[in-house]
Chains A and B, each alone.
Chain A
Amino acid sequence: ILNVEQSPQSLHVQEGDSTNFTCSFPSSNFYALHWYRWETAKSPEALFVMTLNGDEKKKGRISATLNTKEGYSYLYIKGSQPEDSATYLCASKDDKIIFGKGTRLHILP
């Protein structure tokens, strides 16, 4: 079974600051890496799906990179806003999808 690790577990960031966090996954038999944003009282929402080593994806102020050889992905948020407060989940897929425990992001006004 894959072990997907996310760090940090929790993060407090001042509004307007930029931040990033990490998802680590076993690099063998890799198929895809998913990022989701999960706001309180809502359902998880897909941000990115990446498959190729070196992939970079961007959605507004949020971007992600992928390194399949060393088994990690970074999620970056530029100029944090209150609406960015959420838990960010990553998931790696070989024959099944395995989720990390998430990074809980709190934006401080």
Chain B
Amino acid sequence: DGGITQSPKYLFRKEGQNVTLSCEQNLNHDAMYWYRQDPGQGLRLIYYSQIVNDFQKGDIAEGYSVSREKKESFPLTVTSAQKNPTAFYLCASSPTGISNQPQHFGDGTRLSIL
């Protein structure tokens, strides 16, 4: 079945460590997105990529980094510079970055600080 796979489902990090969240899609979509959800908040855009080897900052990119070396993969690294990394992270994709196409979401990764 086509879809988006995020791993792991739960992730624990010690303070000061970088950690990478995986997002893989086999939908042949050009565009991919990373969102963060905190309690009582809507999904907030961290980074997005409309094509391989290109990505743009979203609204809350500080303390995060991404790469898009392959069409199917868009990993997110939470760096030690992110002061409040505990959150639920969702990855999504769409056929292109055109606004009238719905996004397909993964199941999410919950990151916690030890």
List residues of A whose CB falls within 8 A of some B CB.
1, 4, 31-32, 34, 36, 42-46, 49, 51, 89, 91, 93, 96-102
User: Cβ of B99 and Cβ of A32 under 8 Å apart?
Assistant: yes
List residues of B whose CB falls within 8 A of some A CB.
4, 33, 35, 40-45, 48, 58-59, 90, 92, 99-108
User: Cβ of A31 and Cβ of B99 under 8 Å apart?
Assistant: yes
A99-B43 in contact given A42-B107, A43-B106 (Cβ < 8 Å): yes
- Shortest CB distance B4–A (Å): 8
User: Cβ of A89 and Cβ of B102 under 8 Å apart?
Assistant: no
Residues of chain B within 8 A of A51, CB atoms compared: 99-100
Residues of chain B within 8 A of A98, CB atoms compared: 42, 45, 59
User: Cβ of B99 and Cβ of A89 under 8 Å apart?
Assistant: no
29 contacts between A and B (CB under 8 A): A1-B59, A4-B42, A31-B100, A32-B99, A34-B103, A36-B103, A43-B4, A43-B105, A44-B90, A44-B105, A45-B105, A46-B102, A46-B103, A49-B102, A51-B99, A91-B43, A93-B99, A96-B58, A97-B33, A97-B45, A97-B103, A98-B42, A98-B59, A99-B35, A99-B42, A99-B44, A100-B42, A101-B40, A101-B42
